[in-house]
A and B are shown apart, each in its own frame.
Chain A
Amino acid sequence: MYKFWSSIKKEIYLLINDKVGIAFMFIMPLLLVVIITIIQDSAFKLAKENKISILIINHDKGIHGEKLIKLLKESGFFDVEQNNDIPKNKIKKELLNQDKLTALYITPEFSSQLDDKTNQVSNIMIEELGLKDSSEINNDIKLPSLNFYHDPVLQESYYYTIVNVIYSFLNAIESSMMVENFCQGMGFKKMPVRLEEIIKSNKININIISATSSDNKIIPNSTQHNVPAWTIFAMFFMVVSLGNNIVKERSNGSFIRLKTLPVSFALVLSSKMLIYLLAAILQVVVIFSVGIFLFPLMNLPQLVLPSNIFALFIIVLISGLSAVSYALLIGSLAKTQEQANGFGAVSIIIFAVLGGIWVPIFILPEYLKLISNFSPLHWCLEGFYILFLKGGVWSELFKIILPLSIFIVFCQLITYFKLKVEKII
C-alpha cells in the first residue's frame, strides 16, 4: 500500500505540473459550457421571449393586407415595422441597410386575388349543395402571393419557422373569408356573430409534454443539455494530459527502469488510472457547480441534478473510466507526445461530433447515426441525458453501462498487449 500511495503522490505532482493538461481538462470545458449555454439560451429566448423583427411593406390596394399586419402585430411574435413607401425593387437593399433580418412584401393585388380565391372555394361549396350553377363559378383565377425576404445569414430552419407562422395567419384570414362568403351565398347578409366569435377564438390547444420516464420536474433547457455534454467532452480531453504522461514515461525509460525495481507495473498503472479518475470526478464537480451556482447569477437556467444521485455517481464513474481507458490506449499507441496530442485531441472532437455533444444526433444522416454508436461519448451522453432529461431508471441505464464496459475492456486489453509487445509489462 505504501508503494501505491507513493505512486499516487507522484501522479498528483505530475498532474499539478501539467499546466496545459489542466487547462484542457478544466478551463477549456468551463469556457465552452458557459459560452455555448449562453448562446443556446439566447437563441431559445429569441424564439420564446424576444420578438422577431420584421419589416412590412404593404402595397395592397384592398383591406386584407392590413388585416394580416394586424394579426401579426397582435400575435406577439413579431416586432413589426411598417414602411409602405419602399418600392418593391429596393426592398433587398433596404433590408440590409436597416439591419433587419426579415421583410414581408404584400403585393398590390393581394386582397383582390385572395377574394377571388375564397369566392371560388365558397362558390364550389354552394354549387355542390345545388344552390348555384357551375357556369357562375370563375375558374380562371390567380392565386395570391406574398414575398418574404430574409438576410442570407439567417438559418433556413429559422426563416421557415417565420414563414409557417405567417401561413397560419393567412389561413385564419382565408378560412374566415370563406365562411363569410359561404354565408352570403346561402342568403345571409353577414356572417352570424356567434360563428365569427367561434372562428376567432376556437383554437386547438397543443399541450407540450416532455417524454420522461418518471414524474420528475426537470425542465429541459440549454443548461440541462450543455452541462452534462461538455462535462463528458472535458473528461475525454484528459487524453492530452494522460496520453502525454504515458508517452513520456515510455520514451524516457521510466517504464523500463520500473522493470528493474521490485514493484509491479500494474500498481504503477493503477495509481495513474485512479488519479485521473479522481480528476474526472473533480471535473464533474467543478462544471456541475458552475451550472448550479454560477449560471443563475448569469441569468442562465440553473442546473437541476437528477433525483437519483447514486445513479448519477455510477454514470460519472463509468464515463470517467471510459475516458481514462481511452487516454491509456492513446498513450500506449502513440510514438511521440505530438502524436498523442494531435491524434488524441482530434479523435475526441470527432467522437464528440458523432456522439451528439456538438450537434444533436437526430439531425445526423442515417449512416452517421449508425457510426455514432462507436463513439464512447455518445453512450456517456445518453447516460447523462437519461438521468438529466428523461428521469431515467436503472433498466435504461444498464443499456448504457454495457457498451461502455465493453469499450473500457477493449481499450485496456489493447493497452496491455501494446505494452506487452514493447516488453514494458
Chain B
Amino acid sequence: MTSKVCIEINNLTKRYKSSEEDSLKNINLTIHSGDKFGILGPNGAGKTTLISIICGIISSNGGNIKYFDKDKEINLKTFRKKIGFVPQEYAFYQELTPNQNLEYFGALYNLSKKEIKSRSEKLLHLLGLSKVSDKKVQIFSSGMKRRINLAIGIIHEPTILFLDEPTVGVDVQSKNAIIEFLNKINREGTTIVYTSHHMTEAEEFCKSIALLDNGKLIACDDMKNLLNLHKAPSLESLFINLTGEEYRDYV
C-alpha cells in the first residue's frame, strides 16, 4: 500500500469496568487514506469498541492511536472535524423531518445555511429520500432510517467516514443503495472504515479488512492478499477457518 496513513493503532487495549476480560487485546493496525477498510468479526468480537475508541467516544486502557492529515499527525479534536460517524443506532430525531435533522447536524458542523440546503438536497436525492424530505422520520421504514443516519454522518463531507453496521436490518434495495453510495463517495476520496458481520457484503465492498475475534486481531491485510494467503474461496470461508464454528455470543 503506497497511499498515506490516516490512522495508526499501536497496542490498543480496552477492558470495561463490568468485565473481567479485555474487550480488545493489543490491537495493532494501520488504515490508509482512500481505503475501504472493514473491521469484521463475530458478535462480541470488539468491532464497535474499536471503532468507538478510534472516534474518541470511549477511551482505551492502553496503547495509542495516531491520527494523520496529509502525513501530519493531528490531535483527536482536530481529527473529529474531519470524520463522519454513522452509529448502529438511529442516532437522530425521529420526530423531525430529514431536512430538519440535516439542518441541525449540519449546523453543529458549522456549515452555513446555504451549504446545508444544497448538500441536503443532493444527499437526499442520491439516497432516494427527496420525496420524503419534509415528512417525519418516525413513519419511515428501517431502510429509509438507515439512509438518513448515513446522510447525517456525511453532511459535512468528511475525509474519513466510520460506519458501524450500516446495513443491519434493511432490505436488499436499501442495502444496495447504501453500498452504491459508499462506493461513490470513496471514489471521490473519502476513506471508509466500516464494521459488519455480513461477509458477502464485506467481500464485495472492502479493499482491506481486519478480522477480530474475542478482542484479538487475527488477520489484517488487503482482502485479496488474505484470501490468497489462506487459500480461501471466499471471505466467509476464511472467516470460519480463522474463527471456528462455535457460537461467540455470551453474556
Contact = CB atoms under 8 A, between A and B. Distances in A.
Do A and B originate from a single complex? Answer: yes
A253 interface: yes
Contacts of B140: none
Nearest to A268: B108
Given A6-B103, A17-B136, A260 B56 contact: yes
Contacts of A14: 93, 95-96
A257 B87 CA distance: 7
B61 interface: no
A345 B138 CA distance: 25
A10 interface: yes
A252 B90 contact: yes
A110 B137 CA distance: 82
Interface residues of B, number: 31
A263 interface: yes
Contact of B95 (A9, A13, A257, A259): A13
Nearest to A6: B107
B108 A260 contact: no
A253 B88 CA distance: 8
Q: Which of A2, A5, A254, A260: most chain B Cβ within 10 A? A: A260
A338 interface: no
Interface string B46-62: 00000000011110000
A51 interface: no
Contacts of B93: 10, 13-14, 254
Interface in A245-296: 252-254, 256-263
Interface of A: 2-3, 5-7, 9-10, 13-14, 17-18, 252-254, 256-263, 423
Contacts of B85: 257, 260
B83 interface: yes
Interface of B: 55-58, 77, 80-81, 83-85, 87-96, 100, 103-105, 107-110, 136, 152, 162
Contact of A257 (B56, B91, B103, B110): B91
Contacts of B108: 3, 6-7, 258, 261-263
Given A17-B96, A259-B57, A253 B104 contact: no
9 smallest A-B Cβ distances: which pairs?
A: A6-B107, A253-B91, A253-B89, A260-B85, A17-B95, A257-B91, A10-B104, A263-B108, A253-B87
B57 A423 contact: yes
A2 B96 CA distance: 20
Contacts of B57: 256, 259-260, 423
Q: Which of B96, B107, B162: most chain A Cβ within 10 A? A: B107
A2 B107 contact: yes
Contact of A10 (B56, B89, B100, B136): B100
A279 to B, nearest CB: 16
B81 A252 contact: no
Contacts of B94: 252
B110 A3 contact: yes
Nearest to A258: B108
A9 B105 CA distance: 12
A114 B109 CA distance: 93
28 contacts: A6-B104, A6-B107, A7-B104, A7-B107, A7-B108, A9-B103, A10-B96, A13-B93, A13-B100, A17-B95, A252-B89, A252-B94, A254-B93, A256-B57, A256-B87, A256-B89, A256-B91, A257-B91, A257-B152, A258-B108, A259-B56, A260-B55, A260-B84, A261-B109, A262-B77, A262-B80, A262-B81, A423-B58
A18 B95 contact: yes
Contacts of A17: 95-96, 136
Contacts of A2: 107, 110
A253 B90 contact: yes
Nearest to A257: B91
B80 A261 contact: yes
Given A6-B104, A14-B93, 13 more contacts: A2-B110, A3-B108, A13-B95, A14-B96, A252-B90, A252-B92, A253-B91, A256-B87, A257-B85, A259-B57, A260-B56, A260-B80, A423-B58
Contacts of B80: 260-262
A254 B89 CA distance: 9
Contacts of B107: 2-3, 5-7
A418 to B, nearest CB: 15
A3 B106 CA distance: 9
B55 to A, nearest CB: 5
A3 B96 CA distance: 18
Nearest to A10: B104
Contacts of A258: 108
